[in-house]
Structure 1
Amino acid sequence: MYIKKILWAIALIGLVVAAYFAYFVYSAMLSPNTAFNNEEAYIFVPTNAGYADVRSQLEPLLDDIDAFDALAERKKYTSNLKAGRFVIKKGMSNNDIINSIRSNNLPIKISFNNQESIAKLAGRISAQIEADSLSLVTAMTDEAFLSDSGFTKQTALGMYIPNSYEFFWNTSSEQFRDRMLKEYNRFWNADRNAKAKAIGLSRDQVMALASIVHEESKQASEQPRIAGVYMNRIRIGMPLQADPTLKFAAYQLPEYQNTIIKRVLNKHKEIKSPYNTYMHTGLPPGLIAMPDISAINAVLNYEKHNYLYFAADARKLGFHKFAKTLSQHNINARDYQRYLSSQGINK
């Protein structure tokens, strides 16, 4: 009889332990533990982050952070973190959350366009991925990288084709730069390379001219015609006389920092710069801004015509009037100058 009581006691203790273990498994591992109302929440785990960094992001999202801590320790997540962007879905258990943030790094879609410089591009990208703007500038202007890739500091901006791309949030500066070089080479496919060769321009020259065309007009419908004007000037050895290049040259000077030039004046044509296309024939040594793909394609497929001039259209702002003769161009230009004066735009 005494032995039976001992056996019953052992059995009861076993049942209590099993029940407690079942409760622990359910409460710590399998019961829902989210405290937010949205369907999803995201956390961003930096490279080389410690568990405290992750915990601080999780705490406002969870009902019971202590239960999560216990399971995270048991599953060795606290010492085996992964960097990246991770999703937590409403109603997830601690076990589900740990599995998600341990191995389900989600890509993000980044985009950029119309950046005026490498520095501004770096600022745009750093707002979307983990890498900071300073490290991005350093990577993108690294002389060894540029030399190996066939670029210079003047042409480096042309490597970044404006579009949307998928990246992991924890992408490093070098990884971003290297991926964009691959995208650049993919963009310059056999068809585009053949078209550049047919019009007698290198890739860099196409990008430089496209940057001018894009600064002249954001209207994709007339960009091929503007590109045709510049190709006509190049063909006959006439200076490009592109006002956007004068603005670019001016903005490199201390006296024009933090200013906006709304009206190109004769004094701007006297600026000594390789980007002064009134003073120098041919294309400038690099891009003056980042062109849209539409402007790049406009250069590669420029319109064949006999126009040598164009001026902004005062009656259809954003568009231009084209002319074959200087006399007609002067009429068009004076019309637009009168419009600027009527608006009080004198500089």
Structure 2
Amino acid sequence: MAFIRKTILLGVLVAAAATGGFAWWAKQPIIGEGDTIAFTITKGSGAHAAGQQIAEAGVPIQPLLFNLLARFTGKSGKLKAGSYELKPGTTPTRLIDQLVRGEFAQESLTIIEGWTFRQMRQAIAAHKGLKHDTVGLSDAQIMEKIGSGYKQPEGLFFPDTYLFAKGSSELQIYKQAHTALLQHLDAAWERRAPDLPYADKYQALTMASIIEKETGQKSERNMIAAVFVNRLRIGMMLQTDPTVIYGLGEKFDGNIRKKDLETDTPYNTYMRNGLPPTPIALPGLQSLGAALAPAKTGALYFVARGNGTSHFSDNLTDHNRAVNQFQRRQ
């Protein structure tokens, strides 16, 4: 009997030590200071498979212990598939929580104000953190895939920084940016000034894209908007270089010439009245606001001063005088 009691006692002590050791292990950092380790849990993986995938990615963790911890905490069936990053200081317990909550590895992509849709596509296609599933799709097919009612994508995506889980679909970014643009456009349209010469909010978006390309000075955007709105009201041609450049497409070599202004395209506002048929770039929030709330002024002309700002004039005589002063230095 004494031998049996001693054996049982020894078994209890070993179990207690093992339990204590397991509890200690679960609270120790997996890696110390250094780089993060990326890993991916595939869809349908249980705790055992997840532990193996994590270890195979280079994380110094025993799959058996990981599986036991997931089961012990009742979370083995709650692990979410996706791409993750193990950061220095993360404990096994914290790792389990990370997988249960779906705290995926975050990537970011910044879409710049004034980009064309072609530039946006290039940036998305070049991002290593995205799943490139729009390769070979036309612009119209992308618009259809994201459920847009528009076929022509230019101007219909909001420039911003977007966060997403590593390995996300490119279509997620397109849809997110398109939805954001429509929301901002709707809000600006609801606050629009009265009697603006736009047939609809798409024309307002087109105007916003022109304003975006005409000036980098945020403080002048409402004045630039006013000039073009005033021209539209009196039937005067917009005569804006960015639309001409957009119409030239890849033929534009960086310098706009007289022959370019005389080359007729749907976007040549020196030869055609009114707004071009589509936006010419991705407008930001301030350009949208300016297009729908232009400054109250009679200005019809503006010319660059050479210091990043513009001089505005109400008539051609004053404008010519300003051109001589700021451009020709006369």
Q: TM-score, normalised by structure 1?
A: 0.75
Distance verdict in 2 for CA 1:160–1:102, change over 3 Å: same
Please state whether the residue corresponding to 1:277 is helix, strand or coil.
coil
Q: Which amino acid aligns with 1:6?
A: I
Q: Which amino acid aligns with 1:192?
A: W
Partners of 1:56 and 1:117 in 2: CA distance = 42
1:119-134 equivalent positions in 2, closer than 5 A = 119-125=118-124, 130-132=129-131
CA contact (8 A) 1:46 1:83 kept: yes
Partners of 1:10 and 1:26 in 2: CA distance = 24
Partners of 1:288 and 1:135 in 2: CA distance = 22
2:329 matches 1:330: no
2:28 matches 1:31: yes
Q: Which amino acid aligns with 1:34?
A: I
CA contact (8 A) 1:136 1:174 kept: no
Partner of residue 178 from structure 1, selected from 166, 171, 175: 175
Distance verdict in 2 for CA 1:276–1:206, change over 3 Å: same
CA contact (8 A) 2:80 2:101 kept: no
Distance verdict in 2 for CA 1:7–1:207, change over 3 Å: same
CA contact (8 A) 2:304 2:327 kept: no
Distance verdict in 2 for CA 1:82–1:127, change over 3 Å: farther
Distance verdict in 2 for CA 1:44–1:14, change over 3 Å: closer
User: Which stretch of structure 1 is more off in the superposition, 273-282 or 141-150?
Assistant: 141-150
**1:243, CA displacement in angstroms?**
0.9
1:1-347 equivalent positions in 2, closer than 5 A = 3-27=1-25, 29-36=26-33, 41=36, 43=38, 45=40, 54-55=54-55, 58-59=58-59, 65-67=60-62, 69-74=63-68, 75=70, 82-86=81-85, 88=87, 90=89, 92-105=90-103, 111-125=110-124, 130-132=129-131, 135=134, 138=137, 141-142=140-141, 145=144, 149-153=148-152, 156-164=153-161, 167-189=164-186, 192-193=189-190, 195=192, 198-201=195-198, 202-253=200-251, 256=252, 259-261=253-255, 264-314=256-306, 317-338=307-328
**1:325, CA displacement in angstroms?**
2.7
Please state whether the residue corresponding to 1:35 is helix, strand or coil.
coil
CA contact (8 A) 1:312 1:320 kept: yes
CA contact (8 A) 2:185 2:205 kept: no
CA contact (8 A) 2:188 2:288 kept: no
Distance verdict in 2 for CA 1:46–1:185, change over 3 Å: farther
Partners of 2:30 and 2:112 in 1: CA distance = 41
Distance verdict in 2 for CA 1:191–1:336, change over 3 Å: closer
| Fraction of identical pairs, as percent | 24
Distance verdict in 2 for CA 1:104–1:246, change over 3 Å: same
**1:81, CA displacement in angstroms?**
5.2
Residue by residue over 1:97-117, the C-alpha shift from the partner in whole angstroms, topping out at 9 and shown as x without a partner, is: 232234242566654322522
Partners of 2:202 and 2:103 in 1: CA distance = 36
CA contact (8 A) 2:114 2:209 kept: no
Structure 2: 5+ residue stretches without partners: none
CA contact (8 A) 1:313 1:336 kept: yes
Please state whether the residue corresponding to 1:322 is helix, strand or coil.
strand
Q: Which amino acid aligns with 1:183?
A: A
**1:182, CA displacement in angstroms?**
3.3
**1:301, CA displacement in angstroms?**
1.0
Residue by residue over 1:26-50, the C-alpha shift from the partner in whole angstroms, topping out at 9 and shown as x without a partner, is: 33x2333222169xx5746487698
The number of equivalent residue pairs is 317
User: Which stretch of structure 1 is more off in the superposition, 170-179 or 119-128?
Assistant: 119-128
Partners of 2:142 and 2:64 in 1: CA distance = 49
User: Which stretch of structure 1 is more off in the superposition, 102-111 or 197-206?
Assistant: 102-111
**Cα RMSD, aligned residues only:** 3.6
CA contact (8 A) 2:156 2:282 kept: no
Please state whether the residue corresponding to 1:188 is helix, strand or coil.
helix
